[in-house]
Chains A and B, each alone.
Chain A
């Protein structure tokens, strides 16, 4: 059974800092991995999708990497801003189950 873990559960950083969020999964047989952002009381916004054949994806200040063999993905946020404050979730689409399994999220606070 696929298990997805995100560490740390919460993170507080000063504005301008570069930071890395981690996502670990136990079953490396995945189709893709998606990173989302969720603002309080809101739905999920897709940030980046990495197919299993890819190693990384970039969008603006965000860069997501995928290492299937080690069951890890990282989301790198460059030059963090207070507007980046939100909960970040990763979701893994596992082969065979055809389901997205979500991590519990990392709650990020960027201090002005």
Chain B
């Protein structure tokens, strides 16, 4: 498997423009996570999906941020309009949950390479 794929790897845009980040999770994984990493705040969970359904978006900073997962192999994170304070590295991760011995296990997270976003 190619792992989690993110595009673009780098994005430079001007304040006010719309930005769309893309993610392809590992095939068969049922959880997808979007994170943001900055020097000041570290790694923050923005939103996660289970079987394409958004479960918790409480980490999304503002209404300018939205995320979708139209199918099991694709997700987008959109920022509109973008602001300089949105500059960060955005990571997508996926994992596979499983049932074993009557217990439910949340699996190992696999991260994509990230998208470095710069908003001027």
Please list the residues of chain A having a beta carbon within 8 angstroms of any beta carbon in chain B.
31-32, 34, 36, 42-46, 49, 51, 53, 89, 91, 93, 97-105
Cβ-based interface call for B54 (8 A): no
Measured as residues with beta carbon below 8 angstroms from the partner, the interface class of chain B is 20 to 34
Please list the residues of chain B having a beta carbon within 8 angstroms of any beta carbon in chain A.
33, 42-45, 48, 55-56, 91, 93, 103, 105-114
Flag if B109 contacts A46 (CB, 8 Å): yes
A34–B109 Cα distance when bound, in Å, is 8
Smallest distance from the beta carbon of A32 to chain B beta carbons, Å? 6
Flag if A98 contacts B55 (CB, 8 Å): yes
Number of residue pairs across A and B with beta carbons under 8 Å?
48
A36, A43, A46, A101: the one contacting B114 at CB < 8 Å is A43
Q: List 28 contacting pairs A-B, 8 Å CB cutoff, sorted by A.
A: A32-B106, A34-B108, A34-B109, A36-B111, A42-B113, A42-B114, A43-B91, A43-B111, A43-B112, A43-B113, A44-B91, A44-B109, A44-B111, A46-B109, A49-B107, A49-B108, A53-B103, A91-B109, A93-B106, A98-B48, A98-B55, A98-B106, A100-B33, A100-B109, A101-B45, A102-B43, A102-B44, A105-B42
